Structure 1
Amino acid sequence: MSPARRRASAATDPALRRPVAPMLAAPVDVVPEAPGLVHEPKWDGWRCVAFRESDGVYLQSRAGRNLTTYFPDITWAIRTRPPGMVLDGELIVWERGRTNFALLQRRVTAGRGLLRLVHDCPAHYVLFDLLVDAGGEVVLDLPPSERQARLEQLLVDAPAQLTLTPQTADMQQVSEWLLHWTVAAGIDGVVSKRLAGRYEPGRRGWWKFRTRIVTEAIVGGVTGGIRCPQTVLLGRFDRRGRLRYTGRSHPLTADQGAALAGLLSPPQLPRRGTVAHPWPQPLPASWSGRLDRPEPLPYVQVDPTVVAEIDADVAFENGRWRHRVRYARARSDLSVYEVPLLLGKEETYFGDLG
């Protein structure tokens, strides 16, 4: 297709009409190594497709939600770029040199305090792909290296809020990212892409490796039932001895559920001045930590005496894992008082990197 026809098709191509389904990454257990691959940090933020339209800017979330009003700092920065282009990247907020997902979420709930939040905690848009070039030329079919080169050119002299993500084919550099950037900068893994191939909206044509930890938490509730648990609700004690909710597991296997069922029991009857269980019923929707909140979660409360070994990623903020963890097994050899404490914001501990 000629450049002129590409520009003419930009306004009518269904793949580019809002909302656009961004290209996705399939999860893998190891970073793939092969000729023809390039790797990028997996930023801990919100996926965002940005449309630089003739009369302004439109920011779209991965799920198609309109994020424009929550990020006036980013829309201003994109307005400095030529109209017609469509960008793909990640919205993040830095705090003391590390990404802070909680500050990103506050954009949605800030209300009248949004402008103050923008001033105190400005966002950044880390870009990693170009779907439509300036002037409306669709570039989905171009090799990633050409899209990257054009994107880099578009960002010359751009405001600091717009930045290009690093890329490398060097596995030693990838190891450096995973070893040092995970904790220091707040990335939560690596995304791997083919050097050849088109941008395919909605398709899982990339790969994502999440840095994971093995640690422990306390079983405070289950979905399904005590005798047939389906997922596990987890907690940790804080410094005052209160059991705080920290996250939920993926569905258990039949064997895991059967083994755990034999260890669970209902909450003990409360003593005077105490409550039988420290968590509300149902579990509040806001506890999920997601942008698009689900409904409140009914669950079965259990006596918090069972320790679970879990496999989790490092997206742990405000005392909770944002993504579901993988339940491994019950640790009958451990007391609940041997589980790591839920510490303050400055000392958050989520286990040993493995």
Structure 2
Amino acid sequence: MTLDPPVEPMLAQAVESVPGPGVLGELAFEQKFGGYRALLFTPTAPDGKLLLQTRRGSLIQDRFPDLVAAADKLPAGLVLDGELVVWDTKAGRLSFEGLQHRSAARGRSARGLAASLPAFFIAFDILQQDGHELTGYPYRQRRLRLEALFAGHRLATPWTVCPMTTDLIKAQQWLESWTDISGVEGIVVKAMNQPYRPGHRGWYKLRRRNTTEAIIGAITGILIRPQLLLLGRRDAEGHLRPIGRTAPLRAEMARLVGGNVTAADTGHPWEGRRFASAWGSRDTLEVTLVHPELVAEISADTALDRGGVFRHPVRFKRLRLDVTVEEVPLFSVDPS
């Protein structure tokens, strides 16, 4: 049997440190890129076309005509798992904002954007080859097949293999140095003997995190027991700009913030603004605006959305009652 879309991808769970080899056996470490997860299917029939499937099962190959045009370099009956990224030719870097533009464009617009925002597919797994399903094979064998595929077919741009190492020291160096590069978020840890289990969170991901400060501009929950903090920073003109929100507060942290935060008067800079409940969601949060006078110390990863907003919830570490809002770093497209 061959794999046909939609195929549920295997997933990773966030961790704070590398799991010990005694738990998983020999480990592999891959660089984690901040793009869109995608599965790639090459046709088995001569008149077929390349298919690109999102993590949620949607087909989006019409938005990436440059990848479709390059599909003749790929063999038939192939299924790859990987990450879609976009290169901003003007800025000279990977661009998540550019990827968002590409994923929303179709037709002539999609073809036009392909020139200035070319797409790349970073493959990190092979699920099918020559029409033969490989999901039951251990990662070690799948990785060897993936590398042999790229070498044997001399695959190049826009197809590339995700960097991988079994050296923990090298992986730690990636985490500390490569995450300074725009588009690289951290590492993914996999067991060498693992089969590919669709929908199962059997991998682990570590993101580099930076400690910084932000202003508390709003909360969810009630004033004495906030659940989430909505954070901002002032721009060069003094306007308070949203930069993200925290993960749910632990009970002791909620009591601490609740004992210091106060409801805002009229004229708050965020009056009338709506806040999404999650990245990419249309659902909104019910928030209470507060006096933007408290400073929070936060821990955040390096993934940024367009406009300098943290893509993932940040972690609240403590209140900085010794720091004024004037001492908080100014808003920029790189809030870290």
**TM-score, reference length from structure 1:** 0.86
Shift of 1:42: 0.7
Q: CA deviation at 1:157?
A: 2.2
Question: Match of 1:252, as an amino acid?
Answer: L
Deviation at 1:171, TM superposition (A): 2.0
> Hey, what does 2:30 align to over in structure 1?
40
Letter of the 2:122 partner, please give it.
V
State the alpha-carbon separation in 1 of the partners of residues 72 and 147 from structure 2. 17
Mapped contact 1:307–1:330 kept (Cα < 8 A): yes
Q: Which one-letter code corresponds to 1:281 in the other structure?
A: G
Contact residue 77 and residue 159 of structure 1 kept, 8 A: no
Determine helix, strand or coil for the equivalent of 1:145: helix
CA shift for structure 1 position 32: 3.3
List per-residue Cα deviations over 1:11-56 (Å, max 9, x = no partner). Answer: xxxxx34211111112111123535111110111111011112311
Secondary structure of 1:83's match?
coil
What amino acid maps onto 1:278 in structure 2? P
Find out whether 1:61 has 2:54 as its counterpart.
yes
- Asked if residue 30 in structure 1 is aligned to residue 20 in structure 2, the reply is no
CA distance in 2, matches of 1:218, 1:211: 22
Identify the match of residue 270 of structure 2 among 279, 288, 297.
Answer: 279
Partner deviation per Cα, 1:222-256 (whole Å, 9 max, x = no partner): 11122331111110111111100000111112221
- The letter for the 2-side match of 1:102 is E
Q: Deviations over 1:139-166 (max 9, x none)?
A: 1112222212222233222241000111
What letter corresponds to residue 118 of structure 1 in structure 2?
Answer: A
| Deviation at residue 109 of structure 1 after TM alignment | 3.3
Give the counterpart letter for 2:187 in structure 1. Answer: V
Q: Given residue 65 of structure 2, which amino acid in structure 1 is its aligned partner?
A: P
SS in 1 for 2:290: strand
1:206-285 matches, within 5 Å, as 206-269=203-266, 276-285=267-276
Q: 1:137 aligns with which of 123, 132, 137?
A: 132
**Post-superposition offset of 1:282:** 4.9
Q: Shift of residue 220 of structure 1?
A: 0.6
Runs of 4+ in 1 over 4 A off after TM superposition: none
Does the CA contact (< 8 Å) of 2:66 and 2:111 recur in 1? no
The answer to whether structure 1 residue 114 and structure 2 residue 103 are counterparts is no
Pick closer, same or farther for the CA change 1:288–1:106 going to 2, 3 Å.
farther
Q: 1:332 aligns with which of 321, 326, 333?
A: 321
- Identify unmatched segments of 5+ residues in structure 1: 1-8, 11-15, 270-275
Alignment partner of 2:312 out of 302, 309, 323: 323
3-state DSSP class of the match of 1:265?
A: coil
Percent sequence identity is 39
Distance 1:33 1:173 in 2: 16
Counterparts of 1:89 and 1:253, CA distance in 2: 35
Report the 3-state secondary structure (helix = DSSP H, G, I; strand = E; otherwise coil) of the residue aligned with 2:169.
helix
Q: Determine the structure 1 residue equivalent to 2:331.
A: 342
Conservation of the 8 A alpha-carbon contact between 1:56 and 1:79: no
Q: How many residues align?
A: 324
**Residue equivalent to 1:81:** 74
State how far apart, in whole Å, the 2-side matches of 1:61 and 1:339 are: 38
In 2: Cα distance, 1:208 partner to 1:340 partner = 29
Q: Deviations over 1:196-237 (max 9, x none)?
A: 121111111111111111111111111112233111111011
The counterpart of 2:284, out of the listed 284, 292, 296, is 296
**Match among 21, 44, 47 for residue 8 of structure 2:** 21
Alignment CA distance shift 1:98-1:173 (3 Å) = farther
CA distance in 1 between counterparts of 2:50 and 2:109 reads 22
**1:127 correspondence with 2:127:** no
1:106-148 deviations in Å (ceiling 9; x for gaps): 11334553222111010110001011112x1011112222212
Kindly indicate whether residue 197 of structure 2 is the aligned counterpart of residue 200 of structure 1.
Answer: yes
Check the 8 A contact 1:282/1:296 in 2, yes or no. no
Check whether the contact 1:126–1:164 (CA below 8 A) recurs between aligned residues: yes
Cα distance in 1, alignment partners of residues 208 and 68 from structure 2? 31
Which of the residues 175, 183, 187 maps onto 2:184?
187
Superposition RMSD in Å: 1.9
Amino acid aligned to 1:52: T
> Does the 8 Å CA contact 1:30/1:209 hold for their aligned counterparts?
yes
* Structure 1 residues 211 and 329, CA gap change in structure 2 (3 angstroms): same
d(CA) in 2 for partners of 1:161 and 1:242? 41
The 2-side partners of 1:45 and 1:280 are apart by 32
Give the match for residue 40 of structure 2: 50
Indicate whether 1:100 and 2:98 are aligned.
no
Deviation at 1:327, TM superposition (A): 1.3
Counterpart pick for 1:154 among 142, 149, 152: 149
